[in-house]
């Protein structure tokens, strides 16, 4: 493929690719396999191999297209089949053993395998020949998981082959870049981004356009565009999905940013734990260079822009922008105080612009569709959409993109499908290990930067962890604190030592050794860490602890005063009891008990021998009748009685 030397070249190429695709599609079916890390982990690799085997066995000439994550992690592996003139049909939770039947029925016989088909996408690749929708199969936008979503950053994720620049171009890829570098001035781009109200999707929510303007106005050359792809929150995979599913959108966004601020070099700082993302980024960069969409004289203009990948070595703190830049420079990843801000003095003390993956990925759409289109979604102060990785005790775990302003309740119960196993919702943690948890009473909080902060949590970069009644909120906070304090760089005193002391107190409480004074101490250390730490990691480390103490104080007090963990999590602070009226004597618990602590005859209520019980929770998990409950330890009850 020759270099694209003008916007016309790009437009011609797009038409050409679409034409080829159309021609190809008339003779060969398209099979899409979800090959993001999530899909591969769920077995997509084996599924893909079986498909290839089956195709060659039947001598079918089909195009097998690996795609990124479509978001429905709970339903991976996903296999989509599209026949000429037909909509794209999704099969979910596909096992290799089911492939022959799917291929025979769908491709050879031309019928949708209804018992296995999950949904359809009639609008996919709108430029293919006109498609008639299949009957009796919901469209994606009719699925509860998708109906409330608007996909901008994730537009192509799961839809296109991330390793093919042609596929990206066919979906209007690089049109925004072409528009920007040939039809817009630097100021016009910055104004457009400012007008769109786009706020940094890394979590801090600073206005992206304003940041670009600072860097554009800053004196000094060279300037740098940096992408923060050091996604390190436990349970977060938003950025990874974009990198794996649609790497060119990031490249296009960064190139536009480079043009706007006057930079010729860019760095993508991606954690080395994302090997697939790095591999796809490398491929994407080399393809874009071949097409003249990166490198010298982009699209025949005088604009040059080169991109480099820097692999992070696994320090969470390197997601902090100044630590990230120190790491690119080859130094220890430690934050430094700001000012000076990176826009003035960043990488190698040159003006630098650091944005999150999603901020860049949204940029081309804003340039292409205009700021008003973007502003039309979301709330007044938080425009556009937010991407969340929905995880934890929720039915539809996955990756979602929703308009700002949607409530937590809508996300959890409508998109997420609620809590599995009829358990009760307890809390939702937003903002990752530096965010906060919100209780049921806060479920109607709109999801936007300001409302979540006001409610006591943070927006963060998009982690959303839902927990049910079986989660101990003290232990939950302790888990995040363990993570954050271990990931502290150790540079400033409040974070290095405060995190440790806080962790010691929480550990003491979960072991039953806490006192009520400890709660004051938690407050004291937390407030000081927040006020005095150098970077956001230290300032927000106490976040989960403060939020859980604010909303679940009674659980802390139960641990301290009653020596009781109501959720049945903290070892030694609870015991199990069988409720006589609930128990039907089915014997499941007896079979599951590893220590022989449960006895009872069939159809008669069973009993737990507390002396033998090791509180493993096996009986609690297997009981279908909710007959097993968590109660305070008997010794503790007796001790309290004696004292009284």
Partner 1 sequence: MASIKLTINGKSIETHSGQTVLEVAQTAGIYIPTLCYHHALPPEGACRMCLVEIERQRSLQPACTFPATDGLVIHTHSPEVEATRKFILEMLISDHPLDCMTCDAAGDCRLQDLAYEYGVKGGRYQDGFKHSYEVNDPNPFIQVDRNKCILCHLCVRACDHVNGVEAISVFYRGFNAHIGFGADGSLQDSPCEFCGSCVAVCPTAALSPKLASGKGRSWQVEKVDTVCSYCGVGCKLTLNVRDDHIIKVESTWDGPANHGWTCVKGRFGFDYVHHPDRLKKPQVRKYLLDGKKKPKSRNGKLWQWVETDWETAINITAEKLRTTRDKFGPDSIGVLTSAKCTNEENYLMNKLARQALGTNNIDHCARL
Interface contacts to partner 1, rule CB under 8 A = 315, 317, 332, 334, 336-337, 339-340, 485-501, 504, 524-525, 528, 531-534, 539
Smallest gap from residue 332 Cβ to partner 1 (A):
6
Distance CA 568, CA 565 (A): 5
Cis peptide leading into 384, omega within 30 of 0?
Answer: no
Of 348 and 524, which CB lies nearer to partner 1 in the complex structure? 524
CA-closest candidate to residue 562, choices 480, 643, 460: 643
Could you give the dihedral angle defined by the CA atoms of residues 510, 515, 519 and 521, in that order, rounded to the nearest 10 degrees?
-110
Of 52 and 500, which CB lies nearer to partner 1 in the complex structure? 500
CB neighbour burial string for 310-349, b if at least 16 within 10 angstroms, e if fewer: bbbeebbbbbbbbbbbbbbeeeebbbeeeeebbbbbbbee
- Please report where in the chains the tokens 């190139």 appear, as a residue: 255
Smallest gap from residue 53 Cβ to partner 1 (A):
47
Smallest gap from residue 560 Cβ to partner 1 (A):
16
- First-to-last alpha carbon distance for the chain, in angstroms, is 85
Smallest gap from residue 475 Cβ to partner 1 (A):
20
Smallest gap from residue 568 Cβ to partner 1 (A):
27
Smallest gap from residue 221 Cβ to partner 1 (A):
22
CB 576 within 8 A of CB 622: no
Smallest gap from residue 530 Cβ to partner 1 (A):
8
Cα 263 to Cα 176, 219, 288, 357: the distances in Å are: 18, 12, 18, 18
Of 301 and 482, which CB lies nearer to partner 1 in the complex structure? 482
- Please report where in the chains the tokens 């990031």 appear, as a residue: 250
Smallest gap from residue 235 Cβ to partner 1 (A):
21
Of 330 and 594, which CB lies nearer to partner 1 in the complex structure? 330
Of 18 and 530, which CB lies nearer to partner 1 in the complex structure? 530
CB 74 within 8 A of CB 35: no
Cα dihedral sign, 139-145-148-154 = negative
E runs forming strands in 124-259: 224-229
Contacts of 452 (CB under 8 A, 6+ apart): 430, 431, 438, 445, 458, 459
Of 142 and 517, which CB lies nearer to partner 1 in the complex structure? 517
Of 81 and 317, which CB lies nearer to partner 1 in the complex structure? 317
Distance CA 411, CA 443 (A): 9
Of 531 and 581, which CB lies nearer to partner 1 in the complex structure? 531
Smallest gap from residue 506 Cβ to partner 1 (A):
12
Of 139 and 507, which CB lies nearer to partner 1 in the complex structure? 507
């Amino acid at each position: 493929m020759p270099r694209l030397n003008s916007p016309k070249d790009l437009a011609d190429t797009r038409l050409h690719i679409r034409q080829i695709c159309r021609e190809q599609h008339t003779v060969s079916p398209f099979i899409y396999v979800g090959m993001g890390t999530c899909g591969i982990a769920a077995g997509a690799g084996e599924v893909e191999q079986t498909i290839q085997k089956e195709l060659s066995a039947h001598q079918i000439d089909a195009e097998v297209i690996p795609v990124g994550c479509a978001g429905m992690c709970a339903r991976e592996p996903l296999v989509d089949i599209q026949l000429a003139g037909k909509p794209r049909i999704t099969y979910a939770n596909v096992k290799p053993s089911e492939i022959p039947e799917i291929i025979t029925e769908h491709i050879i016989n031309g019928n949708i395998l209804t018992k296995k088909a999950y949904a359809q996408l009639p609008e996919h690749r709108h430029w293919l020949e006109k498609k008639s929708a299949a009957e009796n199969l919901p469209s994606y936008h009719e699925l509860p998981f998708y109906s409330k979503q608007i996909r901008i950053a994730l537009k192509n994720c799961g839809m296109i082959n991330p390793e093919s620049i042609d596929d990206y171009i066919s979906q209007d890829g690089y049109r925004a870049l072409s528009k920007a570098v040939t039809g817009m001035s630097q100021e016009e781009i910055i104004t457009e981004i400012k007008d769109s109200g786009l706020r940094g999707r890394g979590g801090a929510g600073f206005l992206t356009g304003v940041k670009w303007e600072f860097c554009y106005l800053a004196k000094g050359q060279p300037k740098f565009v940096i992408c923060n792809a050091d996604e390190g929150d436990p349970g977060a995979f938003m950025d990874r999905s974009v990198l794996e599913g649609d790497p060119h959108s990031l490249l296009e966004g960064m190139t536009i940013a480079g043009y706007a601020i006057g930079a010729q070099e860019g760095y993508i700082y991606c954690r080395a734990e994302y090997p697939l993302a790095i591999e796809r980024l490398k491929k994407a960069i080399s393809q874009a260079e071949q097409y003249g969409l990166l490198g010298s004289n982009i699209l025949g203009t005088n604009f040059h822009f080169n991109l480099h990948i820097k692999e992070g070595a696994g320090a969470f703190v390197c997601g902090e922008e100044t630590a990230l830049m120190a790491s690119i420079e080859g130094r220890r990843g430690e934050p430094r105080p700001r000012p000076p801000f990176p826009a003035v003095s960043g990488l190698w003390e040159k003006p630098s612009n650091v944005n999150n993956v999603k901020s860049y990925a949204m940029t081309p759409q804003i340039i292409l569709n205009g700021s008003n289109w973007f502003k039309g979604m979301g709330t007044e102060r938080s425009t556009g959409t937010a991407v969340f990785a929905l995880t934890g005790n929720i039915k539809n775990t996955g990756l979602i993109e929703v308009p700002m302003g949607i409530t937590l309740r809508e996300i959890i119960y409508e998109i997420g499908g609620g809590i599995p196993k009829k358990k009760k919702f307890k809390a939702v943690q937003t903002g990752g290990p530096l965010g906060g948890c919100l209780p049921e009473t806060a479920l109607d909080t709109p999801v936007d930067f300001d409302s979540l902060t006001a409610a006591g949590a943070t927006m963060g970069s998009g982690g959303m962890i839902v927990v049910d009644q079986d989660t101990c909120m003290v232990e939950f906070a302790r888990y995040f604190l363990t993570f954050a304090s271990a990931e502290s760089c150790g540079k400033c005193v409040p974070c290095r030592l405060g995190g440790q002391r806080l962790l010691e107190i929480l550990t003491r409480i979960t072991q039953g050794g806490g006192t009520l004074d400890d709660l004051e101490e938690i407050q004291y250390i937390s407030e000081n860490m927040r006020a005095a730490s150098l970077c956001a990691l230290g300032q927000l480390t106490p976040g989960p602890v403060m939020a859980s103490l604010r909303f679940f104080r009674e659980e802390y007090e139960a641990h301290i005063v009653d020596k009781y963990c109501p959720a049945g999590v903290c070892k030694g602070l609870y015991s199990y009891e069988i409720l006589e009226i609930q128990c039907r004597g089915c014997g499941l618990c007896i079979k599951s008990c590893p220590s022989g602590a449960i006895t009872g005859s069939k159809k008669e209520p069973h009993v737990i021998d507390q002396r033998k019980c090791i509180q493993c929770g096996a009986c609690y998990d297997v009981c279908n009748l909710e007959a097993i409950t968590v109660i305070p330890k008997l010794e503790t009850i007796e001790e309290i009685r004696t004292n009284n």
